[in-house]
Structure 1
Amino acid sequence: MFAINPRLRVLFPDLAYDLKHETVNGEGPIRWPDGVTLRVGRSHPAMPRLGLLTSGIWSMRVLTERTVHFSFADIVFRPLMWSLVPSNSDSERDGLGPQITKSMTDASEWVKYGPDRASVDLRNLTRTFPALLHPSLSSRSEWVELMTRDGSDAEPVLVFGQTR
């Protein structure tokens, strides 16, 4: 995620430092920043062979169901989808709709697992593991990409690929 969105190094410098200086065997503390959540779920079965990497995405669906997707970075690589999103999105309060990743599992603590955690049964870590279709993989007529009014945000980077 830090590779696809270099701005994350500026937004979360302690996390960037800790990840960069982590030892080969995964030892060392990882300081997780306030205000950001790592969400994980299943990639949607409708797109079984497509992968996706994105930097910051700010989009909204208004026609079928009002929902938003505000993300710092996303990775869709079958069978999982990962999203780094703001923890406290006021989108529902502001009438924009819920964050599409709201139902996904909070995996923020997972980065703190040490090298002694060689394998973990995902069923023990989460009660639900919803499948989610990323807005960039769904119909382009459903989602509107939002930009800042003054153009101060960098345009998002999206890398699509086909998996085997």
Structure 2
Amino acid sequence: MSQDKKTLYVELAQQAQAIVAGETDKVANMANISALIYWALKDVNWAGFYLIKDEQLVLGPFHGKPACIRIPIGTGVCGTAAAENKVQLIQDVHQFSGHIACDAASNSEIVIPINLSGNLFGVLDLDSPLIARFDSEDLLGLTKIVEILQVAMEK
């Protein structure tokens, strides 16, 4: 991990920990975490959450332009992450079969599943107007933030 990015994610993890410390409200925590990520990372045009409701993903707290409200499980990058309960790191969303273009300006995406009590709760989704914006360094840093959020929401 490059030192700058490593330092950034260490600081973001510390800030995320401080934000969620003592707070058990899931919506409040997701709202603050989405704001933290959106304003801290360069070249990100959307950062937020989709939550499992009625066997589909439903828009949760986010920062960015208005987004798709409902995404079927197994459809698009978010729906695939939910169906497989597996991170999706997509360098070029236009090459992803079944991509849902909520914002035509988005060109790359990373989606990280969120599990509570062993069950899929939702996903963290980040979009960028740049091709190949997200890499393994982002994956490690964002996964740590999701882990912090999961611990807070389990309480």
TM-score of the pair, normalised by structure 1 = 0.32
Return the index of the structure with the highest Cα Rg. Answer: 1
Where is the helix percentage greater, Structure 1 or Structure 2? 2
